[in-house]
Amino acid sequence: MATSILHRASGVALGAGALWLAWWLIAAASGDEAFECVQGFSTSPIGMILLFGVTLALMFHLLNGIRHLVWDLGHGFEVKTATTSGWTVIILAVVLALVAWGIGLSMMGAF
């Protein structure tokens, strides 16, 4: 039940992230002043936390979507299997989000 609610919440977060991306792209096309405004917010501590949240939502939504595809094939409905796969999705989503941020930050020279 919790992963079902999280799946919906992550979908909403991805919608907000898509709007943020559109804001960033429009600002980039609009000129330096608009871009610096968006970039300033995006690189602020609150912006970085929100961006990490969008990354986490993306990883969770992707992995849980794969889990649902497996269910569509008729596998994994047993209570123990469903619980195990749910925890696996949550843990892997966190790990993949951290890995993605680690790679991104290292490419920017932050490490």
Tally of domains in the chain: 1
User: CB atoms < 10 A from the CB of 32, how many?
Assistant: 10
Spatial contact of 58 and 9, defined as CB atoms under 8 Å apart: no
Please write the tens of the pLDDT for every residue from 37-62: 999 999 999 999 999 999 999 999 99
Distance CA(47)–CA(87), nearest Å, equals 28
Instruction: Using pLDDT thresholds of 50, 70 and 90, give the confidence band for residue 111.
Output: low
Sign of torsion over alpha carbons 21, 34, 104, 51: negative
The Cα 56–Cα 32 span in angstroms is: 29
- Which domain does 62 fall in, by range? 2-107
Quick one: which of 60, 41, 44 has its CA closest to 100? 60
Instruction: Check pLDDT > 70 for residue 28.
Output: yes
pTM: 0.90
The CATH number of the domain holding residue 37 is: 1.20.1300.10
Once rounded to an integer, what is the mean pLDDT over residues 74-84?
Answer: 94
